[in-house]
Amino acid sequence: MATHVPSHPDAVALVLHGGARRQDRSAVSPAQLSVLRMVPVARRIARAGRGRLGVFRLLNSSRGWEAEHTPAQDAEWALAEIRKRLGELPVSLVGHSLGGRAALLAGAGPGVRSVVAMAPYVYPYDGATKLAGRRVLVVHGTEDRVASPANAAAVARALSRSTDVGFISITGGDHAMLRHGRRFDGYAAEFVRATLLGDRVDGPVGQVLNGAQHVEV
């Protein structure tokens, strides 16, 4: 789903939602909360791009994370479709929860320049992903009771052995990113703008881009 697509974008952001599988339903609804939560994220990125960014939101083929077909594969499909439509442009993947995991695991794809994982639901072994040459930002709340901040930090440390990774810890932030939501959304938008368009940014994201591996706010 397109949030904003200028006629000649300089780069593209692909926004990925989370959402666990439910026993009674595997289909993804555009109205489910995990999907709707990414609407303001995508809009914030589009505004930050000032007409230079194409911004898309992906609707996964199914809920949760299945061994047969994962959200990371959905992201790879979406990247291929974007290349068909817009050509070879630099891309940033921005995902929340399982979407954050998908962004990291699909981040080695063609054209991906940066990845933002927001409250990512990850496992320590996800740090074995090869993302050399990408810039990575992980944003996680300290009060997340769904996705482990410790797991996310472990993955960030592992990834930092081969690429530039920054971790912003938001004091009091929760998994749904409702508390301090403007910080979550704003940091993602700033990181995308800086890594895709070369704009200078200050604050915690600026610190990460200048080499800080862990910033607490």
Predicted local distance difference test score (pLDDT) of residue 24:
56
In sequence order, what are the beta bridge partners of 63? Answer: none
Tell me the whole-structure pTM to 2 decimals.
Answer: 0.94
pLDDT tens by residue, the chain, 217 residues: 788 888 899 999 999 999 877 655 577 878 788 888 999 999 999 999 999 999 999 998 878 787 678 899 999 999 999 999 999 999 999 999 999 999 999 999 999 999 999 999 999 899 999 999 999 999 999 999 999 999 999 999 999 999 999 999 999 999 999 999 999 999 999 999 999 999 999 999 999 999 999 999 9
Set out the domains of the chain in order of their start, with CATH numbers.
2-216 (3.40.50.1820)
- DSSP string for residues in 26-76: -SPPTTSHHHHTHHHHHHHHHHHHTTSEEEEEE--SSSS--SSS-HHHHHH
Contact in structure between 211 and 135 (CB atoms under 8 Å): no
Q: Give me 147's structure tokens.
A: 């996705």
- The H or E element spanning position 214 is strand 214-216
Using left for φ > 0, alpha for ψ between -120 and 50, and beta otherwise, residue 87 falls in left
Q: Give me 25's structure tokens.
A: 């339903």
